[in-house]
Amino acid sequence: MASPNTQKFYIDGEWVDPVSSATLDVINPATEASIATIALGDEKDVDRAVTAARKAFDSFAATTREERIALLERVIEVYQTRLGDLAETVSSEMGAPVGLASAAQAPAGLGHFLNTLEALKNFEFEETIGSTTVVYEPVGVCAFITPWNWPLNQIAAKVAPALASGCTMVLKPSEIAPLNALVFAEIMHEAGVPAGVFNLVNGDGPTVGAALSTHPEVDMVSFTGSTRAGIEVAKNAAPTVKRVAQELGGKSANIILDDDGFSDAVARDVAAMVVNSGQSCNAGSRILVPAARMNEAAEIAEKTAEQIVVGSPEDSGTHVGPVVSEAQFNKIQRLIQTGIDEGAAVAAGGVGRPDGVDVGYFVKPTVFADVTNDMTIAREEIFGPVMVLIAYEDEEDAVRIANDTNYGLSGYVSSADPEKARKVARRLRTGNVHINGAPIAFDSPFGGYKQSGNGREFGKFGLDEFLEAKAIFGDNA
């Protein structure tokens, strides 16, 4: 069930009319048709929401751990009743196949609340160091700017620890896929989140995002999105010296070592790369294979890619839906053509829509072979179902190529010898590494090195981000 509040914002515990009169159509990427029209906010809408959050902060910051545990438990209870609505909404606005939306997209937000609840139960908000008491206190009013690719995952990864720590907040979800956030706000309201603690204003980055980043009453900005946009957020936040946490882009290396697990790993990871149409910041889009096995890897990748079904998000079964927008489709097509122009070999896929598809932002699952790490398609984040095969000479060369990037969000290592994979994993300059296809764990830190951002999310590590450490000297003298 879609939200009835597309023309309103959630501020100070109520659905209110915007100050601005601007609107934007939300497009179903599978049909290219408008499915809703949302209101777009401006600086005055942001100020109203930030003022509400500031007013609510002192009382919410003073709540006990037990009160915040009870609040998270209520949110979890209500969230569970809206899982179907959330999945349906995400599928229609950003193109995730209904199976993926139901099994992963919608439940991801629930997973963060469950893990944050456990972290809150066990978190030490005070510790003694000699004669000093160190007290961990909420950072204050937080602004959240979240993306469209895993929208509920990123919303909940910020909102859950902020609530747990005693912060108040204003959320600006992506205007490309904003409808799920409206349902999320309804969940917050029904769960009894106190007025002003959680607020939502829809809008674009240059207007609402910038107004939040520059607002003097905002103490912290947590941003997930492209590195380019993250730099702008940091610049806007700098004059007020607010805390900035960033989870940005990636161009993650996937090192497949030369042993008996090679063939299975190539097939598994080509299939994994196209999940969510390749629109994941931590996707293992650079697949590193031994130079002597490049042709073998290309053949496996081609066979695997040709078996991948591209279809409507409404279809059941495992398949790949469209990418999120016309702009994203055009960017991906440009980069695929650039790969061809720079001499990479197309092992599967290529430019254009899949055969027989005339409508929707559908991209052919594409594999490039014989790619060198200086090519554009090996340097830029494509954010689509496109991967590159890069040759390495030996293990040392593989690590060098993997680390030769401006990014450092994720990494992957596969080997029939787990100990060998562990040794390589420890040499990668990334915020997380997956060994032999291991999945993400919501109780472990997520975030990047270098231009992939700073700070960490998930579990107790996410809770840390929203706390200030106060030293009270002599308190235990």
> Which burial class, exposed, middle or buried, applies to 232 when counting CB atoms under 10 A from its CB (0-12, 13-18, 19+)?
middle
Contact (Cβ atoms closer than 8 angstroms) between residue 235 and residue 199: no
Name residue 392's beta-bridge partners.
290
Question: Which H/E stretch holds residue 370?
Answer: strand 366-371
93, 167, 175, 281: which one is catalytic? 281
Q: Which residue has the tokens 């190529």?
A: 401
Reduced to 3 states, what is the DSSP secondary structure of residue 243? strand
Active site residue 306: no
* DSSP per-residue letters across 75-88: HHHHHHHTHHHHHH
Structure tokens at 144: 């959240």
Instruction: Give backbone dihedrals phi and psi of 351, rounded to 5 degrees, phi first.
Output: -75, 160
Within 8 A by CB and 6+ apart from 254, the residues are 269, 284, 285, 286, 287, 288, 411, 412, 413, 414
Task: Using alpha carbons, select from 78, 94, 8 the residue that is nearest to residue 48.
Answer: 8
Q: What's the CA gap between 172 and 205, in Å, rounded?
A: 9
Reduced to 3 states, what is the DSSP secondary structure of residue 41? coil
Q: What's the CA gap between 258 and 296, in Å, rounded?
A: 12
Active site residue 281: yes
Q: Which residue has the tokens 């993926």?
A: 100
Task: Using alpha carbons, select from 296, 54, 403, 336 the residue that is nearest to residue 197.
Answer: 54
* DSSP per-residue letters across 391-447: EESSHHHHHHHHH-SS--S-EEEE-SSHHHHHHHHTTS-SS--EETTPPP-TTS-B-
Structure tokens at 347: 């092992």
Amino acid, res. 464: D
Q: What's the CA gap between 271 and 287, in Å, rounded?
A: 12
Task: Using alpha carbons, select from 113, 337, 380 the residue that is nearest to residue 226.
Answer: 380
Structure tokens at 309: 């079904």
Q: What's the CA gap between 289 and 298, in Å, rounded?
A: 10
93, 247, 457, 465: which one is catalytic? 247
Active site residues: 247, 281
